Amino acid sequence: MIDLVPDNWKPALATVLAAPEAQALDAFLRAEDAASKAVYPAREARFRALDLTPPDSVKVVVLGQDPYHGPGQAMGLAFSVPDGVKHPPSLRNIFSELESDVGVPRPASGDLTPWARQGVLLLNTALSVEQGKAGSHAGRGWEAVTDAVVDAVARGEAATVFVLWGSHAQAKAARIPALRSGRHLLIESPHPSPLSAYRGFFGSRPFSRANAFLEAQGRGTVDWRL
């Protein structure tokens, strides 16, 4: 699995990828392939979030649960779908909050790559999923890998915004001790899925709050337009 990790993230992940949890994860994923199960995203896209957002450029970490589990949806960026793919309900709700929060009209494309290129690390807690089975790869070892990513960002000197959507993401809050000192900003809310968006995701204003913090820290804002 280490061969899929971008070189600039390898120092942060080398130890965890050599650990038993990652070895078990790798064996599990190979077994899924051997059983001809449809797993998303494709193997080469599973670390795409790290490819597009180097560690020294991270301004915002957006944490979700796991990739979309429908054909043609998952592309290795949390909540993002390729251009031309119908927006899943969670993404529609994200775009609704984006419009309400900062006045950005709902975009035609659901590809969030422009955010990633500006330093928004779009990370799920698990980086793969079986077709049609949300949460199917949770607890298989991905959490140790994504813990290491969060740890690396949290240890950095640069002030960063951590946006944690849903209980799986919020479980990582304890890994960010600098939050207690005020060096980073934590924005927590329910997941943007239709099941929970009305319980506090809508009205949470993550986009304007992130930019206000980044601007105050002299890090420059994110252009949320797509």
CB of 98 within 8 A of CB of 223? Answer: no
CB of 106 within 8 A of CB of 73? Answer: no
Please tell me the chain's helix, strand, coil percentages from 3-state DSSP, rounded to the nearest 5: 45, 10, 45
Rg (alpha carbons) of the chain, rounded to whole number: 17
Dihedral angle over CA of 165, 167, 169, 174, nearest 10:
120
Question: What residues are annotated to the active site?
Answer: 66
Query: How far, in whole angstroms, is CA 92 from its chain's centroid?
Result: 17
CB of 150 within 8 A of CB of 48? Answer: no
Task: Tell me which residue of 51, 90, 61, 94 sits closest to 226, measured CA to CA.
Answer: 94
In three-state secondary structure terms, 186 is strand
CB of 40 within 8 A of CB of 68? Answer: yes
